[in-house]
A and B are shown apart, each in its own frame.
Chain A
Amino acid sequence: MMNLTPEERAFQQEVRDFIRENLPADIRYKVDNDLLLKKHDHVRWQKILQDNKRWYGGSWPEVFGGLGWSLTKQYIFQQENALGGAPFIIPYGVTMVGPVLYTFGNDEQKARYLPDILDNSTWWCQGYSEPGAGSDLASLRCSARREGDEYVINGTKMWTTQAQYADMMHILVRTDDSGKKQQGITFLLLDMKSPGVSVSPIITIDGLHHTNQTFFDEVRVPVANRVGEEGDGWKIARFLLNHERTSIADTGAKSRAVEKIKRRLQQSSTEMFSEREKMLFEVRLAELESQLSGLAAMEQRVIAGDQAGTLKGYEPSALKVRASELLQDISVLITDMNGSHKLAYDVARVDQGNLIKHPTPAQLASGGSYLYLYGRCVSIYGGANEVQRNIIAKFALA
């Protein structure tokens, strides 16, 4: 297990205490019951973190308003945030475009956008995938042609999660299609209120509205909103992927799920499961917990390797595959434990997430069904697991 310094240990305790004392009960209720978190839930929690402790931007360098956390401290925060039942941090602003801006942006861009990310007054979304460019991102075709001091965007983006809430989008566009497909991609910052932008909901397998298709019809973006040079888009996209390394496995949330299953088993009566069923679930849980322990050890070694600069490059892909498959397996156990109510899925209940004093078995089971259905996404987004396996194999076969 990771050896923490006394200072890191104290920090861990501080985060734990803070979450226990400051996480609003209605938000904790949604997390505990696997119900949908809305934008206002995330914003409220992220503001609490930032206003009281500046922890929302803790990973940013101090000069940009962060706390300059080490990877270990970032890891501790992420773990404790999840273990304490708090919402996960929405990455599009603080984890993605923020680091891009302070790494590649010019002074004006930094001054204009960074403070608004930290205080949650600007909500960002990400425009990367397209109907014909999913895991094969470099095939993207959404185009931007230069006209004077502006780019004019035409095309469409898929899976623009939270675009319905967003003020801004960071978008990859094609500015040149004469060379290799990785060349000619440019990174722009786009105001979602620009004329010609339309957002069309995509209802996912869980019956909920997380994500969208966004259309661009002659949308004008000032050249001043370009990050880096024209054609730097691929480089920036790769930087972003590397930046997600430490958060990819998200074992804190999985540990919390496992603890919840344990509690359910301990509190179960013979009306819920027979002794034999209970033993079966306990053995399945033991297997999953041993996988989680392996995943957490991998995660910690990847963080240490990242800090020491000794990673070979395929390790984050390995984490992604194991983490997503484990989450899916955990969700299957959770739903199996719902027994005859495993079929229940009250989508309105999941969507509204109101506190109910005496939930029916069907309402209780709906959270598990949501977890199961949404869980199908995690082995697809961020580069499908099959693409991750291609990447991993390439390292051994090079």
Chain B
Amino acid sequence: MSSLTEDDRRLIEDSLRKFVEDNYAFDERERRQKHNGKFGTHWHTFAELGWLALPFGEEAGGLGGGLEEAQLMMKHFGRGLIEEPYLEVAVMAGKVLEQLGSELFMLLIAGESQVILAHRERASIHSLEDCATSAVADGDSFILNGSKTAVSQAGAADYLLVSALLDAEPAIFQVPVDHPSLRVCEFPTIDSRYAADIELDSVVLGQDALLARGHKAADALRHGVLFTLAALLGELSGIADELVVQTSEFLQTREQFGSKLFQFQALQHKLADMIIGAEEIKSLAWLVCGVITNEDLKTREKVIRSAKARAAVIVRKMAETAVQLHGGMGVSDEMVVSHYLRRVVAVDAFYGDSQSHYSWLSSQYASGDLMQ
């Protein structure tokens, strides 16, 4: 839970908003993408401003924030379509490492190491900690075999956190991304970023590569994924708000048939549905902040998965509507709404798209537990 106050959050938000406005103008996006190196141009600034340490407990070396702060960061990064792998590194890998008390955590929050979780596999995610990649102890070393799928921003990493089954128990290993037996096949994604499919072909690792096993590893993976899905609601909320702003501005500016577009009721009603959607996303973001520390793990998982699925469905619909309402302009690469739509599709796909979460949620009905 966050130990920061509303005032702390307001200060952070002010500097965050300003930073995004000053450094991430939409029309300079292409130039930025060309210049982004492995670490992104601003990564060290993120570290200096404390953003990489923000959503972590003070006892772990963080600044005492929690999910609220992770959502806040993602909200503004979402609005600005910021490509730096904040979600993947600081939120997701950071949350896993924080729970493991690994040295790598201190390097991560200092901005000196970019770590990315390579957990997801092809056989979609039914149980959050499941994986099929195998780890076998061999004398003083471990040998990993398997494949990880659609690891977002893997190309930015210097270390991967790889989940694997060791003696039929989940385990987490740190693997340097330049390991010779690791095959990283990068592919471009719909949101103009990169992800990678990763093959582990007898990856030999030393004892110190094993960060956790058993319950500790399973808990870290489950909580890391859920925390990240919950933080994504911040990004979706930022995008949702911006879609409403951009679309209402456009409707008030553009003229057709001798009238401003906003005077057409059909368009007003579509805009109204977008506003309702933005309101619902804010509410879902608020909802998950309340359950992230819920001790009933099943409830926590259900609420967060349901919220992420629902939010992805709504924002996608909103972005499609925004593109539609912008008419021909909406489908041009020049308009930011078209990029929001592309980003939202990628967010939906991240760690279980809406369909796979609904599928999991529906499977829970059979197990017989009803709401209180």
Contacts and interface: CB of A to CB of B under 8 A. Distances in A.
Say what secondary structure dominates the interface of chain A.
helix
Nearest to B289: A1
Say what secondary structure dominates the interface of chain B.
helix
B290 A298 contact: no
B280 A286 contact: no
A205 interface: no
A389 B275 CA distance: 9
A255 B371 CA distance: 9
A250 interface: no
Contacts of A255: 371
A286 B272 contact: no
Instruction: Tell me which of B244, B279, B282, B368 has the highest count of chain A C-beta atoms within 10 A of its own C-beta.
Output: B279
B361 A289 contact: yes
B307 A293 contact: yes
Given A255-B371, A262-B365, A297 B275 contact: no
B248 A282 contact: no
Nearest to A293: B306
Interface stretch (B30-38, B139-147, B262-270): B262-270
Contact of A298 (B280, B307, B366, B371): B280
B275 A318 contact: yes
A389 B358 contact: no
A321 to B, nearest CB: 6
B190 interface: no
Contacts of B363: 282
A286 to B, nearest CB: 4
Interface residues of B, number: 39
A7 B303 CA distance: 25
Contacts of B311: 294
B309 A290 contact: yes
B49 interface: no
Given A1-B290, A301-B283, A390 B268 contact: yes
Given A279-B362, A283-B359, A318-B275, A396 B248 contact: yes
B310 interface: yes
Interface in B273-315: 273, 275-276, 279-280, 282-284, 286-287, 290-291, 303, 306-307, 309-311, 314
A289 B309 CA distance: 11
A266 B309 contact: no
Contacts of A321: 272-273, 276
A286 B356 CA distance: 11
B280 A294 contact: yes
A194 B212 CA distance: 82
B307 A396 contact: no
Interface string B83-104: 0000000000000000000000
Nearest to B275: A392
Interface string B242-268: 001000100110000000001001001
B283 A298 contact: yes
23 contacts: A262-B365, A266-B365, A282-B365, A282-B366, A283-B362, A286-B306, A286-B358, A287-B358, A289-B306, A290-B307, A291-B310, A293-B307, A294-B284, A297-B283, A318-B275, A322-B280, A388-B272, A389-B269, A390-B268, A390-B272, A393-B275, A396-B271, A397-B268
Interface of A: 1-3, 255, 258-259, 262-263, 265-266, 279, 282-283, 285-287, 289-291, 293-295, 297-298, 300-301, 314-315, 318, 321-322, 386, 388-390, 392-397
Given A1-B291, A321-B272, 15 more contacts: A265-B365, A282-B363, A289-B361, A290-B306, A297-B280, A297-B283, A298-B279, A298-B283, A300-B283, A301-B286, A321-B276, A389-B273, A392-B272, A394-B268, A396-B244
